[in-house]
Amino acid sequence: MSEVSSATAEMEAIKKKRHWPPELNALIGLIGIAIIFEILGWAIRDQSFFGSLTRLKIMILQVSIIGIIAVGVTQVIITGGIDLSSGSIVGAAAMISMSFAQIGTYPKAVFIDLGWVDLPIIIPIAIGLGCGLLAGLINGILIAYTKIPPFIATLGMMVSARGVAKWWTKGKPVSFPTDEFAAIGQGMTPVIIFLCVAVLFYLILRYTVYGKHTYAIGSNQDAARMSGINVERHLVLVYTIAGTLAGLAAMVLAARGLTAQSGMGVMYELDAIAMTVIGGVSLAGGRGSVIGTAIGMLIFGVIISGFTFIRLDAFYQEMIKGGIIVAAVVADVYRQRRRAMES
């Protein structure tokens, strides 16, 4: 009897070892990359990469705004979908909310078609979140009820939302926000906002019905439907949340730069997807977590500031960034194949 139980325990141990969470892989990757840059730092520049607090601050600031978007994208990818529109939603939401956040001190610079200045901060915030929410809602309704692939639906939104961003001011940038609005993006506030968003959605995904259904839909949509989950309604909710978070990121970005331009957020959707996938969220759906995405975000940050630190040309940076994204997806596909072979 004891032999049997010890054999079972052994099997369990093997299983546990083999099925360690992908977040752990990402964390090991993060540490590895950090060590590489630390060594390179000493070798090339004769100084520590992590020794500078300013550098670390800049590093985390650079990625935390895209990190806010990535938290939404994580949920979308867990359902087995994809969101290509978040970068353009950032552009549109930034332009529109900024035009309601302007200060009256410089009348010539004010986006005069509206002529509303010095509005209480709640108005531009509500409008910015509302823009993201609306775009996400349209994404969700298209995907859930017309059954077109998420790739196509959000690709359409990507193009259209960029159009909205340009049309809103006929291409002119919007600047000079009120002090209160600008405060959203100053100092370490973007990082704090990211942390709040990440913790909130980590808890929601882990401990609520919403989270359970998100994983179930990505895992086996038919099973989810047969179990009585309203799959369509849930997908609409997931895409709406992702859009709203893109709207939030837009305001942080605009407030930080004190200006909004129609070209803001270009390629952010891909960076957000990359952070998510690097963090171990499976593109096949059903697996991953906000913690993984946060680690993926840090990997992204270390790589970008690391390249700058060793004075690698920006062109090479982009080339290598593309390679890293592909490598993360290859790793995901490999994981899936191995899992399929095991079962």
Host H or E run for residue 10:
helix 2-18
Our finding on whether 6 is near another protein (CB under 8 A) is no
Our finding on whether 11 is near another protein (CB under 8 A) is yes
Our finding on whether 189 is near another protein (CB under 8 A) is no
Interatomic CA distance for residues 61 and 155, integer angstroms: 28
Number of residues that bind another protein (CB under 8 A): 31
Interatomic CA distance for residues 9 and 15, integer angstroms: 10
User: Of 219, 259, 308, 317, which lies in the binding site for another protein, with binding defined by CB under 8 A?
Assistant: 219
Interatomic CA distance for residues 18 and 248, integer angstroms: 39
Report whether 140 contacts 238 (CB < 8 A). Answer: yes
Our finding on whether 12 is near another protein (CB under 8 A) is yes
Our finding on whether 237 is near another protein (CB under 8 A) is yes
Interatomic CA distance for residues 160 and 272, integer angstroms: 19
Our finding on whether 343 is near another protein (CB under 8 A) is yes
CB of 140 to another protein, least distance (A): 13
| Cβ distance to another protein smaller for residue 99 or 244 | 244
Q: What b/e string do you get for 115-140 counting C-beta neighbours within 10 Å, with b at 16 or more?
A: eebebebeebbebbbebbbbbbbbbb
Our finding on whether 321 is near another protein (CB under 8 A) is no
CB of 313 to another protein, least distance (A): 42
- The first and second tokens of residue 290, run together, are 């906000």
Strand partners, 174: 260
Our finding on whether 286 is near another protein (CB under 8 A) is yes
Our finding on whether 222 is near another protein (CB under 8 A) is yes
CB of 298 to another protein, least distance (A): 25
Our finding on whether 220 is near another protein (CB under 8 A) is yes
Interatomic CA distance for residues 203 and 60, integer angstroms: 22
C-alpha distances in Å from residue 280, one per residue of 32, 299, 305? 16, 12, 22
Site stretch for another protein (CB under 8 A), options 68-76, 166-174, 225-233, 304-312: 225-233
CB of 71 to another protein, least distance (A): 15
Site stretch for another protein (CB under 8 A), options 50-58, 160-168, 215-223, 319-327: 215-223
Report whether 130 contacts 250 (CB < 8 A). Answer: no
In the complex, the residues that contact another protein under the rule CB under 8 A are 8, 11-12, 15, 19, 204, 207-210, 212-213, 215-216, 218-220, 222-224, 226-229, 234, 237, 286-287, 339, 342-343
